[in-house]
Amino acid sequence: MSKLSNAYALIIGVGNDLPASARDARAIFDILADKELAGYLKKNITLLVEKQATNINILKALDDLIEKTNEDSSIFMFYSGHGGIYTDNDIIELEQPKGTPLKSEAENQSHYHLVPNNWDPNKYRETWVHATELKDKIRSMKSRRLILFLDCCHAEGMTKAGPEIKVNVSNNQTQNPEGMVHKIDDGRGISIISSCRAEEVSWILGDDPNSLFTTCLLEVLRGEHKKFYTEPFIRMTEVVQYIMKRVPEKKPVQRPFVNLQLYDDFILSCVPEHLNAKVSPPETVEGAVKKGVGSEVVTSFRENDNANNLLLFVHGFSGQASETFGDIPDYLMNEKAMDGWDLLPLGYTQNVQPDKGKNVWASVGDISRIADYLRSSIEHRFTKYDRIAIVAHSLGGLVVQDALVHLDENQLKRISHVLLFATPSNGISAKGLKGLYNCNITELNEDGSYIRSLRKDWKEQFSEGTPFKLRVISATNDEFISIESVFDSFPKKNRVTIEGNHYSLVQPKSKESDSFELIMNTLSNSEFYQKFSSSEAINIALGEYEAVVHKLLPKKDTLNLKGVRNLIFALEGLDRHEEVLEILHGHKLARENTDLLGILGGRYKRKFLNTLSEDDAAKATEYYSKGLELSEIKEDHEQIYYHAINLAFLSLVNEEDKQAMREYAQQALDAAEADPFDSMWKKATLAEANMYLGNLKEAKALYSEAGEMAGIREKISIHTNAYAAYTSLMNTENEDEPFIKSLKIKFLS
C-alpha cells in the first residue's frame, strides 16, 4: 500500500502554443505516480494535457477532488499554461455598445483567468477558468493541506533565441502572476506559488525539456535538494523554499512568488527509495517538525466589508503576529476611533520554518521574500483600502522598509502611518558581529550589501521626508538590537524610546502602556506624551547617565529596588564602579539580594556576548561571583545553580578555562538536583551543565525537555546560550554537526 494513500494531485499542461507545458505536466505525473519516488497512488492523480485540458475538464477535476478528499487529505495542484487578464473596461468595450462610458482607473478592476486548451477570445466567458471559480472550488474542499503551483507566466508564443527560450507578450494576454495568486488565495492558508513576478516571464534554459520552474520542482521531488533527511518525507515548505532559492540562482531575472499565510507544513511526497540511506535514524530527529498543526493559523484580526482603512501587523521571524503583538490588536478593536479599520497580520505563520529557524535574526532571503509579498499585497490584494498603516516589530521593520522603497508613487500615497518597533534598520555593527550572539548574522552587517542598499534606497526614495507619519521605537533594555541601529538612520523627530525589552515593547499588559498609546496617538495624528515609561530607564538607554545619577544619588537610601537598579546602571555607565560596590554592600535592598546581582551579571553578560568586551565579561563575572557567594551562605539551591552555570559559561567563552568551567558546572548540577522544583530553567541548567561535563547524550535529552516547557522567548534565550557555549567548547559552527542541528530543531523550529 502506498505511504501516501490520502494524497491527491491534479496536473494540467495546456499545450497549444506551449508544448513545454504538456511536457512539464507529464514529467510531474511520472514522478508522483512512481511508487519508488513520490509514492502517490495513480488512481489519485488526474493528468490533463493538450486537448484534455479544457475548462470543462478542469472544473470537473476540481469537483472530483472536492468529492474524494477529506480534511486530512493533501492536494498537489500544478498548472502550466497561459494566464490572462481582462479589466472591467476591456469587458465594457467588448460587450457594450460603442461609446459606453468607461470606469475610472480606481474603479477599473482586473479579472484574472486561466487559459485552457479550448479557450476562445471571442467566447471568453464560456471558455476561461476565472480566478474566482478556481478560488470557490478550492474553498469547497474540506482539506486546507493544498498547494497550487502556477507556471502560467508564459506569453502567447515562445521563440527560440540563442541558448534560451524567450517570450513574446501579446496585448490580449498581459501576464500578472502575482495578481493571479492574490485572486485565487482563499484566505484559509492554502499555499500558492507562481513561477515568477509581475512583468517577469517563465524561462526554459538551453535544451532543457522543461521550464526552469518545473525543472527545480522536479529536482526537489527527486530529493536532490538535501544532503540528509530527518524523516522519509519531503514537506511543503522545503519544496517552496528550494524553488524560491534555486530558480533565481539559475536565472536572476525570474523570481518565483509565494503567498505566506500557510496552514500546515504537510507532507508533499516521499523521499525516493534509493535515498533511504540519507534518512537519519529516529533517535537523531527528536523534535523534528510534527505532522499536522499545533494551532489555528490567524489570517485576520478583523475584516469588514465597508472598511476602507487597513492596519497591518508585520512581525519578525521568531513567531507570528497573533503572538508577537500580544493583546494590542484586541485593545485597538475595542477603540471607537478604530471603527472603519480592518486589522490583519502579515508574515510567516507558525507553520513555516525560516532559513535560520524561528529566531530574532533571519536571512536576507527570508526578509526579501516577505517584503516582496507585502509590496505585492499592497498593489493587488489590498486594493479596496484608501489608507494603509503598518506596525512592525524587529526584522519585520526591515521587511516594511524593503517593501516601501519598491512601491511606486501612487501606492505610496496610500501609506498613512508606519511604526517600526525594535528594528535594526542600521544593521549590526562590525564590533557587534564579533559577539557570540551574532555569529550567524553576517548578512545583516551594517557595511554589507543588503543594509547599505536598503539605506541608499530609503534615502533616495524619501530624500524630502516620508509621505507617511513615521515613528521608530527603541526599548530601554533590548537584549538584541542596539539603540544606535534603531535610531541612527532617522531624524530625531521620528524617534521614541519606551521602557521594556525586545519582546515586552509590543506586548503591553494593558492599555495603560506607552506602546499602545503611541500607536493610538500616531494613527489619530495626535501628540504623544510618555506616561508610563521611567525617565531614568530612558536616559540610561540613551546614555544620559549624568541626569539619572543627579536625580537618584541624593536619595539613594530611600529608593525602591527598581530605583537602586537604575542608579547602579547609570553609575556603571559613568565608570563609577567603586560607588556601585558601596551601594551593593551598604543599601538595605541590595546587601543580600542575589537576584539583583544576577540581573547585573546578566546585563554585562549580554553586553559581552554582543561585543566580546573583556571589561563587560569581568563585571559579569564579578556580579555572578558575589551572587554565588551569598547564595551559598543562604543555601539557596535555585540561586546557586543560576549563578554557577553562568560562571561556567563565562569561564569557557571568556577565560577559556575548562577546569573552572567543569567545577562550576558540577556545582550547578548538584544544586539543581537538590532543588525540588522541576522548572524549565532547572532543566536548561542541567542540560548545560551536562554539556560542560561531556555528557552530551544526557544534555541533548534535557534540552529537549526544557524546549517542551519553553515559550518562544525562552527558546531563543536557551538556544543562544547553548549555541555559544557548544561552539566555543567544540570549536565548530558547522550547522550539520549533530548537536548543533539538534539545538536548532528543538529551539528554533
- Residue 293: predicted pLDDT: 46
- Distance from C-alpha of 438 to C-alpha of 611, rounded to nearest angstrom: 9
pLDDT at 157: 27
Average pLDDT over every residue of 360-364:
71
Q: What pLDDT score does 301 carry?
A: 87
Report whether pLDDT(630) > 70: yes
Give the pLDDT mean for 35-39: 85
Check residue 430 and give its pLDDT: 67
pTM, 2 dp: 0.70
- Secondary structure class of 354 (helix, strand, coil): coil
Q: Can you tell me whether residue 728 is helix, strand or coil?
A: helix
Q: Would you say residue 324 has pLDDT above 90?
A: no
Looking at per-residue pLDDT, the higher value among 12 and 271 belongs to 12
Q: Band the pLDDT of 175: cuts 50, 70, 90.
A: low
Euclidean distance between CA atoms 247 and 36, whole angstroms: 26
* Cβ atoms 573, 606 nearer than 8 A: no
Mean pLDDT of the chain: 83
The arithmetic mean of pLDDT across residues 35-42, rounded, is 87
- Higher pLDDT, residue 229 or 342: 342
Read off the pLDDT of each residue in 612-627 and give the average, rounded to a whole number: 91
The tens digit of pLDDT for each residue in 662-688 reads 999 999 999 999 998 889 999 999 999
- Range with lowest mean pLDDT among 256-260, 389-393, 482-486: 256-260
H/E stretch holding 651 reads helix 637-653
User: Quick check: 296 pLDDT over 70?
Assistant: no
Domains of the chain: residue spans and CATH: 7-85+112-284 (3.40.50.1460), 309-533 (3.40.50.1820), 543-747 (1.25.40.10)
Q: Which of 317, 321, 264 minimizes the C-alpha distance to 147?
A: 264
Residue 286 or 470, more confident: 470
Give the residue, 415 or 613, on which the prediction is more confident: 415
- Which strand (E) or helix (H) includes residue 563? helix 561-573
- % of the chain residues with pLDDT over 70: 86
**Predicted pLDDT at 388:** 94
591 has pLDDT over 80:
no
Contacts of 416 (CB under 8 A, 6+ apart): 309, 387, 388, 389, 468, 469
Q: What is the pLDDT of residue 156?
A: 29
Under a CB-based contact definition with an 8 Å cutoff, are residues 237 and 293 in contact? no
pLDDT at 245: 85
**pLDDT computed for residue 432 by the predictor:** 61
Question: With 80 as the cut, is the pLDDT of residue 287 above it?
Answer: no
DSSP, res 379: I
- Where do we find the cell 558547522? 734
- Greatest mean pLDDT among 111-125, 260-274, 464-478 lies in 464-478
The phi and psi torsions of 287 (rounded to 5 degrees) equal 90, 5
Q: Are 503 and 451 in contact (CB under 8 A)?
A: no
Residue 436 has pLDDT above 80, yes or no: no
The answer to whether 25 touches 13, Cβ cutoff 8 Å, is yes
Q: What is the pLDDT of residue 176?
A: 60
Which of 141-150, 247-256, 401-410 has the largest mean confidence? 401-410
Confidence of residue 234 (pLDDT cuts 50, 70, 90): confident
Of 98-107, 169-178, 605-614, 690-699, the range with the highest mean pLDDT is 690-699
- Would you tell me the crossing angle of helices 236-250 and 364-376 to the nearest 10 degrees? 90
Average the pLDDT over 623-627 and give the result: 93
Query: Which pLDDT belongs to residue 165?
Result: 34
- What are the cell numbers at 309? 482603512
pLDDT of res. 307:
87
Mean pLDDT along residues 29-53: 92
Strands (E), 451-606: 469-475, 495-498
- What's the pLDDT band for 285 if we cut at 50, 70, 90? very low
Residue 557 is predicted with a pLDDT of 85
At 590, is the pLDDT very low, low, confident or very high (cuts 50, 70, 90)? confident
Q: How remote is the C-alpha of 741 from its chain's centroid?
A: 19
The pLDDT value recorded for residue 263 is 57
Q: Which three cell numbers stand for residue 12?
A: 494540467
Return the higher-pLDDT residue of 519 and 154: 519
| pLDDT above 60: residue 294 | no
pLDDT of 109 above 80: no
pLDDT value of residue 431: 63
What number is the average pLDDT over the span 394-402? 92
**Which phi and psi (to 5°) does residue 416 adopt?**
-105, -40
> Can you read off the three cell numbers belonging to residue 399?
521587511
**222 has a pLDDT exceeding 70:** yes
Lowest mean pLDDT among 49-58, 193-202, 598-607: 193-202
With a cut of 60, say whether residue 170 has pLDDT above it: no
Average pLDDT of 578-584?
Answer: 82
Count of alpha carbons within 13 Å of 352, Cβ hemisphere only? 26
pLDDT value, residue 566 = 85
Q: Is 495 helix (H, G, I), strand (E, B) or coil?
A: strand
Residue 581 CA: distances (Å) to CA of 323, 586, 590, 600, 647 = 40, 8, 10, 12, 19
Query: What is residue 317's predicted lDDT score, i.e. its pLDDT?
Result: 73
